[in-house]
Every structure is written in structure tokens, then in C-alpha cells.
């Protein structure tokens, strides 16, 4: 189901989605109230839900939709304003599965291949999740966006790496994507400010959203949290979030470690991406890296985790049961780079123990 107050946008989104061949648009409505009233009869498994609509807004319709169908997958669609970024992140905490940033104008929507690709890919991914891992594997992807977002049911043989850790970590690095904002907030609610090292985070998000995420992390943890900025000397006890649109690298400069933002090509079809950050950390800190790979689509973080593992660092990954999508953590675990695969609730205690010098 598509819920958007623009008839032009609704028609365009419906054509894009149905052109895929594996997606059927069963309803197209102009406000949240219609979405609520037509959900049961429509049989929709996924709702693409605009935020700004008359009668009933997307954020007001969301809990009503989930009350009717608790397993419904809701994809929030919002423009990149600060207000909508805040609402989108709030929607995730209320049960929305994901969000897709929408160009501000109808013309922008009609000409944005990036928006089109992300919309179709996320709807397909949510469809696989809605069916609980369908018996039929997802077909081999035919383009770059699909390669990132394809979700195929699989049984993974996990071979845990023996950690070569001999001292307390010097930095905590985290990579995440789909489901990541909720996982990060839960993690830091448990961690609080109980970390005596710098924390660097790459979460797949556009500009504006990353600034709001940094603010929310500060609220739940009590630790200073900011978007990373070029040339910043990182400090223990602070959180640095990679800003949307830039890779965040860490480099040594004399006795300090500084942030170096990079506007180079996307990696794994993302910018910011986890792999560049992880690689830079392995060079700057060697065995002093403690890395976490949380829920997310694709395999971003796997190549960087290999570099960290080869230099003696430690990598923990979120388990499949507590991940919204076990793409990124699963890729690291399957490759044999993880020292432990843990439920989300067990990661904070493990991190605190490792920071105090306990063994894995």
C-alpha cells in the first residue's frame, strides 16, 4: 500500500514498484486515515507511509496501522528536513521498519534514480521479512542497489575467531544500517557513559538524520555525542557519528588521532560506509580496536572487519534473532572474523568487560 497526499507521487511510486515484477501495489491512498481504514481489506504486507498528509499524518497513522496488523512492515517516506528526520527516527522507535528519504519536490522525486532504487530495494527487503524468510530464495540481483539490499534465507555456519586481545581496547567502533538506530539507542542506554575510550559510529543515514541520531545518543547515554567533523581530535568518553554523505576516517597526527572526512566514491553503495572507517582504524590502532557490527542490509563492514582481525583487533556481531536484518553482522560472522555473536542485550555488558581488560 502507498499512502501519500500527492496523486502524482502515488502514481509514480506505484509504477516503479510494479515494474519490478515481484511487487504488487494493492492500494494507493491520499492520507493516513484512508490507509488505516483500508489496511485490513487490502491484505497489504508493507505500507509506504508519507509523513505529511491531511486528515491523519503518517506518524499518527503508524500506531493505528500496527494495532490492526502487528507484523506489518512500515516504510516511512520523508523529505530531508530536520523536522521530518526527527519524526522518522521517532517512527522507528514506534515500530516502523525503516525509512527512505524523499526529494522535497515532485520534480525531484520524478528525476531521482537514487530514491527510486532505494525505495524498490527496501520494499523487496521488507517483503522478504514480512514473509518470515520465504521458502523461495530472493532471485539473483540485477543491479547495484539490489546487490546491496537482497535478502535471501540461509543457514550460516559461524566459525568464531580466537581473539588475540592482550590489552584493553583503545577505541570502540560500530557499524550498522537497517534497524541500526533502534539498536544503537538500546545499546547506549545500557552502556550509559561507562566507556573510557572514544566511540566512532557509521550508520547508513543521509545528512540531517545523522545529526539527530547523535543528539539522541547523547540523551540516552549521558555522554557527549556529535557528528564527526574534519580535523577533530577525538577524545575518550565521547561519541562521534559519521555525517551523512561523508566517509569518516581516523588518522594519527603526532600523538593525537583525528577525524578525516572523505567525499570519495561510495563503498558498498553507501556513503558513509563502514568498511573505510574500519580500515582506517586498523591502521591507526592495530590490536587496540574493539568493533561491533550491528543489524543491517548488505555486507558493509566485512572487508573492514577482515583488516581489524588481521591486525589483532576484536569484533563482536549482533545475532540473527535480535537483528532486523542479519546481512552485515551475518557477513562478518560467516567470514569467520567475529570473536563472538551475541544478542543485542548482551553486547553492552560484554563491551564493558572488554574495556576493563577482561578476555573475550
Residue positions annotated with a catalytic role:
177, 204, 300
Return phi, psi of residue 211, to 5°.
-65, -40
DSSP string computed for 185-205 = HHHHHHHTT---S-EEEEE--
Closest by CA to 1, choosing from 49, 69, 65, 47, is 47
Strand-pairing partners, residue 223, are: none
Cell numbers representing residue 247 in the block: 566517509
Q: Strand order in 314-318's β-sheet? A: 225-227, 239-241, 199-203, 171-176, 289-293, 314-318, 340-342
Angle between helices 180-191 and 82-94 (to 10 degrees): 80
> Are the beta carbons of 122 and 98 closer than 8 angstroms?
yes
> Are the beta carbons of 359 and 165 closer than 8 angstroms?
yes
DSSP string computed for 85-152 = HHHHHHHHHHT--EEEEE-SSHHHHHH-HHHHHHHHHHHHHHHHHHTTS-SSPPPPP-SHHHHHH---
Return phi, psi of residue 343, to 5°.
-60, 150
Closest by CA to 299, choosing from 128, 183, 149, is 149
> Are the beta carbons of 269 and 297 closer than 8 angstroms?
no
> Are the beta carbons of 75 and 123 closer than 8 angstroms?
yes
Element (H, E) at 291: strand 289-293
> Are the beta carbons of 287 and 313 closer than 8 angstroms?
yes
Amino acid at each position: 500500500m502507498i499512502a501519500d497526499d500527492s496523486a502524482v507521487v502515488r502514481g509514480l511510486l506505484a509504477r516503479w514498484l510494479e515494474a519490478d515484477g515481484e511487487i504488487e501495489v494493492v492500494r494507493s491512498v491520499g492520507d493516513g486515515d484512508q490507509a488505516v481504514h483500508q489496511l485490513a481489506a487490502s491484505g497489504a504486507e508493507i505500507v509506504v507511509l508519507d509523513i505529511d498528509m491531511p486528515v491523519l499524518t503518517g506518524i499518527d497513522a503508524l500506531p493505528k496501522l500496527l494495532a490492526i496488523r502487528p507484523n506489518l512492515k512500515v516504510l516511512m517516506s520523508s523529505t530531508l528536513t530536520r523536522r521530518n528526520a526527527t519524526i522518522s527516527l521517532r517512527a522507528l522507535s514506534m515500530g516502523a521498519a525503516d525509512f527512505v528519504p524523499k526529494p522535497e519536490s515532485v520534480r525531484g522525486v520524478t528525476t531521482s534514480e537514487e530514491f527510486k532504487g532505494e525505495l524498490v530495494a527496501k520494499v523487496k527487503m521488507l517483503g522478504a521479512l514480512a514473509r518470515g524468510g520465504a521458502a523461495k530464495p530472493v532471485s539473483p540481483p540485477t543491479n547495484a542497489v539490489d546487490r546491496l539490499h537482497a535478502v535471501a534465507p540461509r543457514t550460516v555456519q559461524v566459525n568464531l575467531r580466537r581473539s588475540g586481545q592482550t590489552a584493553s581496547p583503545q577505541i570502540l567502533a560500530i557499524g550498522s544500517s537497517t534497524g541500526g538506530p533502534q539498536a544503537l539507542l538500546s545499546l547506549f542506554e545500557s552502556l550509559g557513559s561507562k566507556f573510557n575510550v572514544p566511540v566512532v559510529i557509521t550508520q547508513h543515514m543521509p545528512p540531517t538524520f545523522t545529526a539527530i541520531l547523535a543528539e539522541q545518543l547523547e540523551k540516552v547515554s549521558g555522554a557527549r555525542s556529535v557528528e564527526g567533523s574534519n580535523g577533530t581530535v577525538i577524545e575518550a568518553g565521547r561519541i562521534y557519528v559519521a555525517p551523512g554523505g561523508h566517509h569518516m576516517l581516523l588518522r594519527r597526527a603526532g600523538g593525537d588521532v583525528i577525524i578525516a572526512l572523505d567525499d570519495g566514491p561510495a563503498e558498498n553503495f553507501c556513503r558513509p560506509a563502514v568498511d573505510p572507517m574500519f580500515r582506517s582504524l586498523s591502521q591507526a590502532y592495530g590490536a587496540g580496536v574493539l568493533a561491533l557490527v550491528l543489524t543491517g542490509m548488505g555486507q558493509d563492514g566485512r572487508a573492514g572487519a577482515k583488516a581489524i582481525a588481521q591486525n589483532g583487533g576484536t569484533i563482536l556481531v549482533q545475532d540473527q534473532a535480535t537483528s532486523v536484518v542479519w546481512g552485515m553482522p551475518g557477513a562478518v560472522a560467516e567470514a569467520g572474523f567475529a570473536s563472538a555473536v551475541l544478542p543485542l542485550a548482551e553486547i553492552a555488558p560484554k563491551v564493558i568487560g572488554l574495556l576493563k581488560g577482561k578476555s573475550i
